Chain A
């Protein structure tokens, strides 16, 4: 079974440029997550989707970050414009989302963003 797929794996951009990350979750997983991981830190949730609905986006900086999950499968996370402080790894995860006591998140390889 294929895992969570993310692209690109690496991205280098100039500050003030836009950037987008793509995620394809594990087949059948209803819940999709975007995390931000700074160097030497654990992942921090940016947004969580239940199917196509964003049910928790409280940590998403909405002035420059946006996300969508059209049709409840693939998702795109966008930053516009990027700032130097956005340099980090952006992780996507998915889970079945059926019951809290069995729901486990599986992560993709991440996109390492460098903003110059």
Chain B
């Protein structure tokens, strides 16, 4: 069985602070895929990143960075210099091949101006 845990239900930060969203996953498979999606108040899930299990390179995209560690089954997401527009619910997700994607319960991020 697959499971994704996002222990942080809600996080509030002041604008320009850095913030890390945690994601821990469980799977027995050796090949799997990890995702982060952003869901702003408008409701649409916006794709942010996809990571294959065999690629542990960390990735940086502008103010966003992702730290994938197989040893701890974690795929954490850091926003540097947060902005009000980053306020949203962020979902971590896990997929095995063409099997269904398992989503975490989400972390609501509020960036206070």
Which residues from chain A sit less than 8 Å from chain B, CB to CB? 3, 40-45, 48, 56, 59, 89, 91, 93, 100-101, 103-110, 112
B100 touches A45 (CB 8 A): yes
Interface centre among A3, A43, A110, A112 (most CB of B within 10 A): A43
Chain A residues near B47: list those with CB within 8 A: 104-107
Tally A-B pairs: CB < 8 A: 48
Chain A residues near B4: list those with CB within 8 A: 42
- Chain A nearest Cβ from B10, distance in angstroms: 10
A82 to B105, CA, bound (A): 25
Query: Given that A48-B100, A101-B33 are contacting pairs, would A43 and B105 also be in contact in the complex, using a CB cutoff of 8 Å?
Result: no
- Chain A nearest Cβ from B25, distance in angstroms: 13
Q: B21 interface residue, CB < 8 Å from A?
A: no
A112 touches B97 (CB 8 A): no
